[in-house]
Amino acid sequence: MRPPPSHPRAFTLIELLVVVSIIALLMAILLPSLGKARERARTTRCLANMKGMQFASFLYSQENDGHMIQAGLAHVGGAPNLSVAWINTLQQYYTNKILVRCPSDFSPYWDTPVPGTSPPSYRLTSYGINNLVDPDLYVSNFYPPGATPFAKYGNIPVPAATIQFVEMARTGGFAASDHPHVENWPVNPIVVAASQLATDAHGTPSASKASRANYGFLDGHAETLHFGDTYTSVNKNNYDPAVAK
């Protein structure tokens, strides 16, 4: 005679709880690593955006007698000058639409006007250009009388040490702008710069020398750096071409 068919043994409640606990533990271990991996990928894609813009900026300069790109988006409410804004002038060097949004940029102002702006201003780019290398935003009282504006690539002593592209603050009055005002930083550079730039775009803490963000340099390379690596004092920083080394 054939033995009666055996029935598969069901899991007990305790065994199920053990399995669920193990899965929960594994998720708790893996999720932070996955989150960090995703953020590293976003940082890398943001760097690629910057390198593309730096290359396009160089091409623009080659076709415009060495002149560099300009900012045209106002901050804290002013009327923009879109005809000179680099987000538009660099578009001609792209086959597809220029990538002006960092994958890590979740600012609410892409679809909502920045509070206090009149006319209402929206965020059009994650990135900005260093105003000290913009021919229209050159600040004469920041330099000795008779100094030559850093308006052309040929005027920059050390392009590899001079920042051109930065990541703009995602909240506040500079959230809709495409340039900071570095001349306002010397009194309290960490706090003032953090109000204009997303110095912590790729690493906390915010408003700190240790804050991390991406920066593009005039020689075409881009790096993820601590803010303290880019600005020490008015006489030692990577924004002012006169002192960048």
- Which residues are 165's β-sheet partners? 129, 216
Lowest mean pLDDT among 51-55, 58-62, 144-148: 144-148
Whether 243 is in a domain gets the answer no
CA atoms within 13 A on the CB side of 121: 27
Whether 22 is in a domain gets the answer no
Coil, helix or strand at residue 203: coil
Whether 30 is in a domain gets the answer no
Number of compact structural domains in the chain = 1
Sorting pLDDT into bands at 50, 70 and 90, what band is 105? very high
Please give the order of strands across the beta sheet that includes 212-217: 127-129, 163-167, 212-217, 222-226
pTM (predicted TM-score)? 0.84
Q: Are 107 and 170 in contact (CB under 8 A)?
A: yes
Whether 188 is in a domain gets the answer yes
pLDDT in tens, 218-242: 999 999 999 999 999 999 999 999 9
- Interstrand relation of 212-217 and 127-129 (parallel, antiparallel or unpaired): unpaired
Residue 8's pLDDT is what? Answer: 58
Name the residue among 141, 127, 162 with its Cα closest to residue 45. 127
Provide DSSP, 42-69. Answer: HHHHHHHHHHHHHHHHHHHHHHTTTBPP
Residue 140's pLDDT is what? Answer: 55
Whether 14 is in a domain gets the answer no
- The position carrying tokens 């001079």 is 162
Whether 201 is in a domain gets the answer yes
Whether 245 is in a domain gets the answer no
Q: Does residue 54 register a pLDDT over 60?
A: yes
Residues of the domain holding 211: 44-237
Strands (DSSP E) contained in 63-174 are 127-129, 163-167
Q: What value does the mean pLDDT of the chain take? A: 89
Burial of 229 (0-12, 13-18, 19+ CB in 10 A): middle
Whether 3 is in a domain gets the answer no
